[in-house]
A = this chain, B = another copy of it.
């Protein structure tokens, strides 16, 4: 099973690596990191590079598409190479998914029109401009299209997807394999749960914190 993760300049690494870590454990799965051209792409803070091993045009019919987010999605929302690839890949895919602002790329490609979808909480309303109905949920399933909330939500999305693909037992085994028994020291991971001053802090320092 070919799983395609398109990556790009100014990506958020965890958006891609969370689902990769889950989905690469599926029997027979190969995760392909693709980009406009092969080689390293840098995260938004420039501190890390992930390597793309192939170009988008080398894998046009993956069974699963996972679109990560990051500041780099802004530039790609009018990039016809990326949008055409997404439209074409979605046409043949079994599952088309996104993490964080990756859903804005699906939206810009027209894939979310008429669907409920989610994204990073700071960008939820942006989805509406593309004919999608924003939903404040961590993982939103609409037929073969699954969108996830910000950054870390890709892990939950990928476990949900793993269960759809290979059954609950295998998804549970993957969860145990990556010891995903979350115990965050605080409970401020969503705008509904964070204290107001913390929410304000993230809004003010959005480019660094979100």
Closest-CB distance, A157 to chain B (whole angstroms): 9
The answer to whether A175 has its CB under 8 Å from any CB of chain B is yes
CB closest chain-B residue, reference A32: B47
With A25-B208, A47-B30 in contact, do A153 and B179 touch (Cβ < 8 Å)? yes
A139 cross-chain contacts in B, Cβ below 8 A: 183, 185
A170 cross-chain contacts in B, Cβ below 8 A: 201
Which stretch, A15-23, A75-83, A103-111, A126-134, touches the partner chain B?
A: A15-23
Closest-CB distance, A59 to chain B (whole angstroms): 13
The answer, among B33, B47, B181, B208, for a CB contact under 8 Å with A48, is B33
Closest-CB distance, A27 to chain B (whole angstroms): 8
A183 cross-chain contacts in B, Cβ below 8 A: 138-139, 156
The answer, among B25, B184, B202, for a CB contact under 8 Å with A156, is B184
Q: How far is the CA of A196 from the CA of B31 in the complex (A)?
A: 29
Asked if residues A151 and B178 are in contact (CB atoms below 8 Å), the reply is yes
Q: How far is the CA of A48 from the CA of B45 in the complex (A)?
A: 20
Band of interface residues on A: 35 or more
CB closest chain-B residue, reference A160: B185
With A25-B208, A169-B197, A169-B198 in contact, do A182 and B179 touch (Cβ < 8 Å)? no
Question: What are 23 inter-chain pairs, A to B, with CB distance below 8 A?
Answer: A13-B21, A14-B178, A30-B47, A32-B47, A50-B50, A138-B181, A139-B183, A149-B179, A152-B155, A152-B178, A152-B179, A152-B181, A159-B185, A171-B185, A172-B198, A173-B202, A173-B209, A174-B209, A176-B190, A176-B191, A178-B189, A181-B190, A182-B182
Q: Given known contacts A40-B51, A49-B51, A173-B205, what 8 new A-B pairs fall within 8 Å (CB)?
A: A12-B21, A13-B20, A14-B17, A17-B17, A30-B47, A159-B186, A169-B198, A176-B191
